[in-house]
Amino acid sequence: MNSIKTAILAEKPSVARSIAEIVGATTKKDGYMEGNNYLVTWAFGHLVQLALPEHYGAKGFSKDHLPIIPHEFMLIPRQVRAEKGYKDDPSAVRQLKIIEQVFKQCERIIVATDSGREGELIHRYIYDYLASDVYCERLWISSLTEKAIKEGLQKLKPSTEYDNLYAAAEARSCADWLIGINSSQALSVAAGNGVYSLGRVQTPTLAMVCSRYLENKNFKPVPFWQMQLVTSIAGKNVTAADKDKYFDNTEATTLYNKVRYAENVSAVKVERKEIRQEPPLLYDLTTLQKEANSKHGFPAEKTLSIAQKLYESKYLTYPRTGSRYVPDDVFMEIGGLIGKLKGYTRYASYAEKLSDTNLNIRPVDDKKVTDHHALLITENLPDKLSEDEHTIYEMVVARMLEAFSSACVKDVTSITFGIDDAQFEVKGSVMKRAGWREVLNEKEENAEDGTELPDIQEGEIYPVSSISLQEKQTKPKPLHMESSLLGAMETCGKDLESEEQRLALKTCGIGTPATRAAIIETLFSRDYIRREKKSLVPTDKGLAVYDIVKDKRIADVEMTGYWEDAFLKIERGEQQAGNFTKGIEVYTRQITEELLNLNLPFSANAYTCPKCGKQGLRFLSSVCKCSDEACDFVLFRNCGGKKLTDDIFIELLSEGKTRLIKGLTAKSGKTFDAYLILNSECKVTYEFPERKSNYKRGSKRGK
């Protein structure tokens, strides 16, 4: 029995319960569990945060305060919005007092917050805020199974071995504060109305959404022409496309007229080769989020939430990973995990088959494993899952089976037909060995559609069935979906086809796998972007902000990527956190000055008060009001249970009437649709859409 009283700090109550059960802390107390000389307590995520500007004497938004660069950052309990400003979160204050009492009773602390940068920050901020000096050791695990926790408790390391990890986390936290607070206040001061939010990662991400949207919207299609040939070989029609595209209609028509009446075509080149397609690598969080979005329409935040729940339920390993590889010691356990899947109905037969083969070692590389290895299932097979949980779990199962399977082998045939100077090409492929593709049996995207071409010999002549000239148009890049935006965040906005290139740039992508979903959700909450089906589209407010910052330092995607690379170097001890922070302070002064000197098109003077006629409306977080204190004109954002956006306010002010607002809620609780009208008294009223007459079949309309 452990004779030293030991505190264990987990990140969430559910994790604390799993650990408490294993160490024998079975007696429930207020905010912790106790037993066997262990006191197991928990945080609720970030209980402590960096102090707000007012704690440094900078109350309100004022040009005179900026930039706000604290000589030394202070820590305060987590804040929640109050009627005026912010206040300490009562639940955070209460749990901090419990943690403080637990720490004081113990002679050592086992840090069991999530094993990563944010988990380390959560612990250190609590520890420093409470001014504790109790000796700490670190529990570093990749899953919450009983086996993983027991093994982790046998391999505890002094907390000091994770000082570099904390230094990187603290540097990130301070950089986000300095850039976010100062840029947001500077833009809001320059605008003179409303509160505008900018951020170190948020703003470059908004820039990627807006630039793609404008590129798509302003794209002018260019017509081009391409010939298509149909030939009949052994009773089977084969269609081939001209190798060239013609952007000159006269040139295209001239060439077409030369060959349009040809009776025969020659197979001038026939290439046959065997292609090996290696299986995809295992999932990291970003790849899982991208594929869950493109295949199932899941927002990134939803995928993370489900994966986190499956982790806490002991069905998946730690989800907030940036690696797609496993180390050698974990590879030794893969065979056992595949063996477990023999009891999982959908993949039982494939697991049985894979168990009898040599596993592919492509996903095994110690050097490419960061804080955590790639996403895997655990030895615990789930009993009951919700439909969405089932979807994510089976994605991880299938990818694990694919990654350790053999390559897919295909015979690919490429044929070039020739008539005079025109050349037509067609490709076909035949599967020789399905390999990893057998797991899901999905049709390959952008493939030669698995068409088996007839036996065509080089130099042979074949009859022409038809030749046509088709007019086509160039197409713009599609609007970003969450899947493509996550990919752009991962590679600093560079469009890369090569898996190796993408992996190489991951170290300097913007955000981390753990934070990218939250950044996208922040853009939604700020009313900067919205969803149109699966596409991400900027709002007028988002476009207005982008138009201001697009050529400013705050929107520089690559610079933000270099910072992420710097955090990794700080983690590895290759760069000093202090030097990085000094650089961020210089940058903060630069962007603050840059933003304060802006002449903005959406300043307070842009809108006229409909009641007093003076220019200067203020768009605030809860209301739109006249900047003249003597005027009582006000529009409340909360209307019929809906939060009105700036776009809606502007419609109401300029047109006197909004678009149809759907899903408003009456006092009775019933929902309805209505137009908002600004009446002669400058009050908002409802106008209901006309109801369509509803006659039953066979009824008469009257005489």
| CA–CA separation, 389 and 385 (whole Å) | 6
Question: Cα–Cα distances in Å, from 50 out to 95, 449, 578?
Answer: 18, 55, 17
Q: Which residue is catalytic, options 318, 347, 528, 587? A: 318
Q: Is 135 one of the annotated active-site residues of the chain?
A: no
Tokens of 311: 């982790």
**What's CA 390's distance to the chain center, in Å?**
20
| CA–CA separation, 368 and 386 (whole Å) | 33
Tokens of 479: 């609007």
| CA–CA separation, 277 and 496 (whole Å) | 19
Write out 44-84 in H/E/C secondary structure: CCCCEEECCHHHHCCCCCCHHHCCCCCCCCCEEECEEECCC
**What residues are paired with 427 via a beta bridge?**
414
- Report the residue count for the chain: 703
Say which amino acid occupies 628.
Answer: D
Decide: 33 and 25 in contact? Cβ < 8 Å.
Answer: yes
Q: Which residues contact 170 (CB under 8 A, 6 or more apart)?
A: 121, 124, 577
Rounded (5°) CA angle 22-23-29: 105
Exposure pattern of 411-443 as b/e (b: 16+ CB <10 Å)? eebbbbbebeebbbebebbeeeeebbbbbeeee
Strand 422-433 and strand 408-419: the pairing is antiparallel
Residue in 210, 128, 221 with CA at minimum distance from that of residue 166 = 128
Decide: 643 and 524 in contact? Cβ < 8 Å.
Answer: no
Residue in 3, 539, 546, 487 with CA at minimum distance from that of residue 293 = 487
| CA–CA separation, 532 and 481 (whole Å) | 10
| CA–CA separation, 128 and 96 (whole Å) | 12
Decide: 626 and 607 in contact? Cβ < 8 Å.
Answer: no
Q: Which residues contact 333 (CB under 8 A, 6 or more apart)?
A: none
Decide: 148 and 72 in contact? Cβ < 8 Å.
Answer: no
Tokens of 235: 């009773």
Residue in 321, 323, 322, 350 with CA at minimum distance from that of residue 338 = 350
3-state secondary structure of 495: coil
| CA–CA separation, 520 and 522 (whole Å) | 5
* DSSP 8-state secondary structure symbol assigned to residue 449: T
| CA–CA separation, 89 and 443 (whole Å) | 51
**What residues are paired with 229 via a beta bridge?**
240, 467
Say which amino acid occupies 10.
Answer: A
Tokens of 669: 């609780």
Q: How many helices (H) and strands (E) does the chain have?
A: 19, 27
* DSSP 8-state secondary structure symbol assigned to residue 282: P
| CA–CA separation, 359 and 166 (whole Å) | 37
DSSP run (H or E) holding 568: helix 557-571
| CA atoms 366, 370, 375, 378: torsion sign | positive
Q: Which amino acids are annotated catalytic?
A: 318
